[in-house]
Structure 1
Amino acid sequence: MNPEAGFPRATGSADASVRPALPQDAEEIARIQLVTWRTAYRATLPAAVLDDWDADAATGSWAAAVTSPPTPGHGVLVALERNTVVGFAAFAPAELTPGEAPDPAGPSAELSTLLVEPRWGRRGHGSRLLAAVTDLVRGGGAARLQTWLLEDDAVSQGFYESAGWGPDGWARTLDTGDRPLREIRWHALLDDPSEEAR
C-alpha cells in the first residue's frame, strides 16, 4: 500500500501529528535511531553497532526506504512535535518464519521499527505512530500486525501490551557477531471497525 494513499497530510493535534516521511526526513530519522538505540539498548546491542555507526549510510538507507520502497506495502511514517521530527515507524508485509503456515485470517504486516527519541517520550507520539501504521496496513488488507521485540525489553513490551498486543508464541535468535540476541514476536489482530459496529 502507498502510505500517501488515503492518508491525510498530517494527523493529530496542532502540536503533535503523524505524516508519511519525506526524503528530507532521512537524516533526522537516522539520528533518532542512533540516539534511541544508544539510550535504550547500550547494554544489549553489540558495542560495534553503536560505536561504529555510519551516519551517511544510515541516512542513505532511510532515504531509499522513503523514496523507493521495495513494494507498495512498505512505508515510513514520522511523528512531529510542532514541526520537529521526534520519532518514526517503518512497516512492511510480514515474511513467514521458517515452519510457519500462512494465517488463515489473511495477510500479516510487520512493524519493523517504532522509535521515539527519549527526550520526546511519554507525549503520545508512539501511540499515534502505532495507530497510524495500524490504519494503513488494515486499509491495505492486512488482518494482523506483528513486531519483534528483544526478550528483555520490558519497556517496549509494556507499551505494546498496553495497546492490546501480546506474544504469539514465535521466537528467534539473532547472530550479532558478539552475543546472540533473542527476540519474541508480538502481534495484534486487526479487526475491521465496520464489522465491530454491526
Structure 2
Amino acid sequence: MTAADVSVRLAWADDARAIAALQLRSWPATYGDVVPTEAFPQGPEAVDAATQAWAESLARPRDARQRALVALERHRVTGFIVTAPASDPDCDPVAVGEVVELVLDPGERGRGHGSRLLQAAADTLVADGFARAVFWVVAADDTTRGFLADAGWAADGAHRELDLDGSGAVTVKQVRLHTALA
C-alpha cells in the first residue's frame, strides 16, 4: 500500500451511506459488552435512516466548526471522526473542541487509519481556533484509551454515566480525556 492509497479528508454528503453503515457495524464492537445485540439497529431500514441523518448533518452542521472527516483506503471509507465545539458546561466552547466520535471499521484497526484521523482532527481543531480538546470514551474500552494515551491524551477527572435507552436499565460509564492542541 502506498501513501496515495490512504488519506483523510472532510466528509462529503456522498459519504453519508458509507459512514452510516460503518457506524452501525461498529456499535456492537464498541458497546457489545453493555447492550444486547438485538438492541442495535440492524437491516437496510436502519442503514437508510442513519444515512438520512448523516446526509442532513453533513449538509447542515449545527455549528460552523462541526466537522466530519473520513479515512480512506483506495477511495473506500475505513473510518471517520467528528469534531465540534465542546458541549460540556465546564468547557469554554470557544477555546475547547471536542472529538465527538471516532469510528474505525473493526476489520481495519491497526492499519494507521485511526492515527491519521486523530491527527487530521487535531489539525482541524487547531485551524478552528481551539487550544484544547476533550473526548469522552467508554471507561472499559482499554484499547481506545491506550491508543489515545499513546497520542498524548490523558484523563482530566471528569466522568459520566450515559443512559442508552432512556430507562436506566442500559448504561455505559465514560471518562473524559483531554489534550493540549497548541
Q: Deviation at 1:38?
A: 1.7
Q: Deviation at 1:139?
A: 1.0
How many residues get paired? 176
* Aligned AA (1:139): A
Percent identity of equivalent pairs? 37
Contact 1:46 1:179 (C-alpha < 8 Å) held by counterparts: no
Q: Deviation at 1:175?
A: 1.3
For 2:111 and 2:37, the matched residues in 1 are separated by 30
> Partner residue of 2:105?
117
For 1:91 and 1:38, the matched residues in 2 are separated by 22
* Aligned AA (2:9): R
Q: Deviation at 1:174?
A: 0.9
Q: Give me the CA root mean square deviation.
A: 1.9
> Partner residue of 2:13?
23
> Partner residue of 1:185?
176
* Aligned AA (1:144): R
Q: Deviation at 1:96?
A: 2.5
Alignment match of 2:31 (pick from 33, 41, 56): 41
For 1:17 and 1:101, the matched residues in 2 are separated by 31
For 2:82 and 2:180, the matched residues in 1 are separated by 18
Q: Secondary structure of the equivalent of 1:14?
A: helix
| CA shift in 2, pair 1:80/1:154, >3 Å | same
Q: Deviation at 1:37?
A: 1.4
* Aligned AA (1:187): H
Alignment match of 1:88 (pick from 80, 93, 98): 80
Q: Deviation at 1:188?
A: 0.6
Q: Deviation at 1:56?
A: 1.7
> Partner residue of 1:57?
49
Contact 1:173 1:182 (C-alpha < 8 Å) held by counterparts: yes
Q: Secondary structure of the equivalent of 2:129?
A: coil
For 1:122 and 1:168, the matched residues in 2 are separated by 26
TM-score normalized with structure 1 length: 0.82
Q: Deviation at 1:61?
A: 1.2
Q: Secondary structure of the equivalent of 1:152?
A: coil
Q: Secondary structure of the equivalent of 2:27?
A: helix
* Aligned AA (2:172): L
Q: Secondary structure of the equivalent of 1:114?
A: strand
For 1:68 and 1:162, the matched residues in 2 are separated by 34
Q: Secondary structure of the equivalent of 1:18?
A: strand
Alignment match of 1:74 (pick from 66, 74, 85): 66
Q: Deviation at 1:90?
A: 0.8
Q: Deviation at 1:122?
A: 0.8
1:9-37 deviations in whole A, cap 9, x for unaligned?
Answer: xxx92011001111111111011111111
Q: Deviation at 1:49?
A: 4.0
Question: Is it true that 1:155 corresponds to 2:143 in the alignment?
Answer: yes
1:127-180 deviations in whole A, cap 9, x for unaligned?
Answer: 100101100111111011111011101111011011010101101111123322
Contact 1:79 1:129 (C-alpha < 8 Å) held by counterparts: yes
Contact 1:91 1:110 (C-alpha < 8 Å) held by counterparts: yes
TM-score normalized with structure 2 length: 0.89
